[in-house]
Amino acid sequence: MLGAAAPLAAAPAALAFSQQAANPNIFAPASLPAHEIYRLALFVIAVTIGIFVVVGGLLAFAIIKFRRRKGDNGREPAQVYGSTQIELAWTVLPVLIVVVLFLTTARVIHQVEDAKAPADAVHVTVVGHQFWWEFRYPQYGVVTANELHVPVGGPTYLTLLSADTDHAFWVPQLAGKTDLIPNRANHTWIEPERTGVYLGQCALFCGVQHAHMLLRVSVQSRAAFAAWIRRQHKPAAKDPAVAAGRHVFETTACVNCHTIRGTIADGRFGPDLTHLMSRKTLGAGVLPNTPKNLRLWIENPAAFKPGCEMPAMNLNPKELDELVSYLETLR
């Protein structure tokens, strides 16, 4: 009963929450490759609108000019065959249009795909999981989940891997879509020009909870990004006041799936929880990260993400309270 009622109770909060960041918009680029893709899209749309107007105009002209009128004798009109000029025109023109579209597209693909990372670029390894995102910063020894932080005004290079099946990384305002494929490393990059939160989504069907595999990218000032990295780099908080909750965590299967740096928990199947409280969301964007939601999530993750890869651990209410108090200290 409780499990079934939980998503309903959580719905209004989740709704208000999704409004905190602007909806992803392919027509509002805020980063380098997204700008190039946007310009190319406008060009292609302009060309195709031109084709539509010419073809539609000729069609309308023919329909109106040669419509049946009163007093027509009802016979078929004279049939005209084989105008070399017209046939040449409607063969050569489309070929030229296709060549132009091909060349402009190839140029943008080359610009995006073959850009070399400058020495000062931030590197992030993105690992797609059913149904969440792992972000590793090898330069800084930082690992987080679902909420990517990057500096404004400089390039961040992303290496895209998958732990299970195919996923796709897509934050429309920052860059085009790039697939994450098992046993293969794909690459993309972003160079955002405005601070803010940009939303994205796994864009390749990867299983039942594919639609709950949201991406949040926080583009921060250089100083704010450096401060975030410093905080994330610290080992997990060790507050003696919540030792009981920590004990519950360390003696439950949580440790096989989750890492909390500085404890025995070093699982990599689920998100790194070392700085869980620095994240605004739980479960790749299904819930705002509040103590109440955290408790509901641990009690029964499937109430919010049916089919997700975290089991309900059947803890009693006391253990749940202690556990949540402990997790709340992981800032």
Site for ligand HEC contains 321 (CB under 6 A): no
What contacts 24+ positions apart, CB below 8 Å, involve 295-299? 295/320, 295/321, 295/324, 296/6, 296/10, 298/323, 298/324, 299/2, 299/3
Asked if 258 and 120 count as a contact pair (C-beta separation under 8 A), the reply is no
As a whole number of angstroms, the distance between CA 132 and CA 270 comes to 8
Residue 167: name its binding partner from ligand HEC, Cu ion, none (Cβ under 5 to 8 Å by kind). Cu ion
When the beta carbons of 152 and 213 are compared against ligand HEC, the nearer one is 213
Q: Which of 37, 158, 282, 330 binds ligand HEC (CB under 6 A)?
A: 282
Near ligand HEC by CB under 6 A: residue from 160, 210, 305, 328: 305
CA-based nearest residue to 133, from 63, 230, 202, 48: 202
Contact 171, 199 (CB under 8 A): yes
- Determine, following the binding rule CB under 6 A, whether residue 121 of this chain makes contact with ligand HEC: no
Q: Is 190 in the site for ligand HEC (CB under 6 A)?
A: no
Angle CA 217–221–225, to nearest 5: 65
Which listed range, 56-64, 98-106, 196-204, 247-255, lies at the site for ligand HEC (CB under 6 A)? Answer: 247-255
Q: Which residue has the tokens 């609108």?
A: 49
Distance CA 239, CA 326 (A): 8
Take residue 73 and report the two structure tokens written for it.
């004798």
Choose, by CB under 6 A, the member of 270, 274, 322, 328 that binds ligand HEC: 270
Site for Cu ion in 163-182 (CB under 5 A): 167
**Segment contacting ligand HEC (CB under 6 A): 28-36, 191-199, 228-236, 264-272?**
264-272
Q: Does 331 bind ligand HEC (CB under 6 A)?
A: no
Q: Does 213 bind Cu ion (CB under 5 A)?
A: yes
| Binds ligand HEC by CB under 6 A, chosen from 160, 260, 284, 330 | 284
Regarding 258 and contact with ligand HEC (CB under 6 A), the answer is yes
**Interaction of residue 142 with Cu ion, rule CB under 5 A:** no
Q: Which does 145 bind (CB under 5 to 8 A by kind): ligand HEC, Cu ion, none?
A: ligand HEC
**Integer CA distances (angstroms), 184 to 96, 169, 260, in order:** 37, 14, 28
Contact 39, 32 (CB under 8 A): no
Contacts with ligand HEC, residue ranges (CB under 6 A) = 131-132, 145-146, 209, 249, 252-254, 256-258, 269-271, 273, 276, 279, 282-284, 298, 305, 308-311, 313, 323
